[in-house]
Amino acid sequence: MEAFTHAVEQGTGMLELDCHLTRDGHVVVSHDENLLRQTGRDVTISSLNLEDLPLYKDRLEVTFNAGRYSTGTDRKFTLLEEVFRKFPKMPVNIEIKEDNSLLMEKASNMVKQYDREDLTVWATVDSTIMEKCRRTNSTMPYSFSMRRGLQLLLLYYSGLLPFVPLGESFLQFYLPRIINRTYIPEERLLKNRMVIYLIEKLTMRKSLFKHLANRGIQVHLFVCNEDPDIEAAFEAGATGVMTDYPTLLTDYLHRHRSQD
C-alpha cells in the first residue's frame, strides 16, 4: 500500500497489480503466488489464511532493475478491496495469472461493489483466462492477451486491421530493448540478440500504435526504469509507460513538458 500511495502522490495515471486468493477466500495483491522471492518463505498464498501471510522482506530486489532494491516501512500484503477503498477514482489494471474462477468472481464482485467497472481493467497473457474473465464481467475494459496480440500483428501486416473490429481497450507489451538488459527470461530463445532485434522490428511500429490510439486503444510499454527507455517508448508511439519508479517517470514528463 505504501508503494501505491507513493505512485498516486507522484501523479500516476493507473496502478498495475496482480491478485491471488488466500485459503480463506481473500483477494490479496501480490505479484507471485509462491512467496519465496518476496518473503523468503517457500509457501503459496493459496495455502495460507490471510492472517498467516508472512511479511515482505526488509529489502526486495527490483525484478526489472537487477542490483537495485526497494525498501519501506509497510511490509504487509494488501487486499484488493483496500486498494479500491483508498483510491476510489484511480484506474487499476488487474492481472489474473491463474485459472481460478472464484478469484475472478470475487474480483469482479468488488469492482461492482465499488462502482469501478469503467475504471478497472482485466489483464492476462493467457487467452483462456481472459475469456473467463470476460464471461465473469463483460462490462470491464480488457487488454490484449498474447494470442490476441499475435492476431493483431497478423491483421496489421496483412492490411486487414482497419476493417476488423477490436474489443480490447489496452495493448500492454514489453519494450523489447529491456528484455535482456534488465530481465533475463527463462526462455533460451529470448536470450538471442537477433531474436530481440526481430521482435523489436516487428512490434515497435509507430503506424500500428497510431492506428490503435486513433481507435481509442491505449498502448502501454513496460518496464521502463531508465530515461532512455521512457524516451524510446514514447518515440515508438506509446500512449503510456509502466515503470517501477513513478518519481523517475514524473520527473521525465515534467522536464519534457517544460521543453515543449
Ordered DSSP codes for 107-172: HHHHHHHTT-TTTEEEE-S-HHHHHHHHHH-TTS-BB--HHHHHHHHHHHHHT-GGGS----SEEE
Residues 108 and 155 in one domain: no
Residues 136 and 199 in one domain: no
Final residue before a domain boundary, out of 92, 119, 142: 142
pLDDT score of 221: 98
Answer whether residue 87 shows pLDDT above 60.
yes
What's the whole-number mean pLDDT along residues 194-216?
Answer: 95
Final residue before a domain boundary, out of 121, 142, 163: 142
What's the whole-number mean pLDDT along residues 5-24?
Answer: 97
pLDDT score of 196: 85
Q: ∠ at Cα 129 (125, 135), nearest 5°?
A: 130
Number of domains in the chain: 2
Residues 148 and 114 in one domain: no
Q: What percent of the chain has pLDDT over 90?
A: 86
Residues 122 and 217 in one domain: no
What's the whole-number mean pLDDT along residues 9-19?
Answer: 97
Residues 122 and 210 in one domain: no
pLDDT score of 63: 82
pLDDT, tens digit (0-9, with 9 covering 90-100), for 32-67: 999 999 999 999 999 999 999 999 999 998 888 878
pLDDT score of 195: 85
The domain that contains 17 carries what CATH number? Answer: 3.20.20.190
pLDDT score of 149: 98
What's the whole-number mean pLDDT along residues 97-121?
Answer: 98
Mutual orientation of helices 2-9 and 246-259 as an angle, nearest 10°? Answer: 10
- Is 233 within 8 Å of 200 (Cβ atoms)? no
Average pLDDT, the chain: 94
Phi, psi torsion values for 60, nearest 5 degrees = -120, 125
Q: What percent of the chain has pLDDT over 70?
A: 95
Rounded distance, CA 6 to CA 36, Å? 25
Residues 14 and 129 in one domain: yes
The HSE-up count of residue 11 (CA atoms within 13 Å, CB side) is 9
Quote the domain boundaries for residue 31.
Answer: 1-142
- Is 196 within 8 Å of 179 (Cβ atoms)? yes
Residues 112 and 40 in one domain: yes
Mutual orientation of helices 146-158 and 127-136 as an angle, nearest 10°? Answer: 100
pLDDT, tens digit (0-9, with 9 covering 90-100), for 217-253: 999 999 999 999 999 999 999 999 999 999 999 999 9
Answer whether residue 191 shows pLDDT above 90.
no
Final residue before a domain boundary, out of 117, 142, 167: 142
Rounded distance, CA 110 to CA 121, Å? 13
Residues 34 and 9 in one domain: yes
Residues 49 and 151 in one domain: no
pLDDT, tens digit (0-9, with 9 covering 90-100), for 128-176: 999 999 999 999 999 999 999 999 999 999 999 999 999 999 999 999 9
Answer whether residue 16 shows pLDDT above 60.
yes
Phi, psi torsion values for 25, nearest 5 degrees = 90, 20
pLDDT score of 182: 63
Residues 3 and 130 in one domain: yes
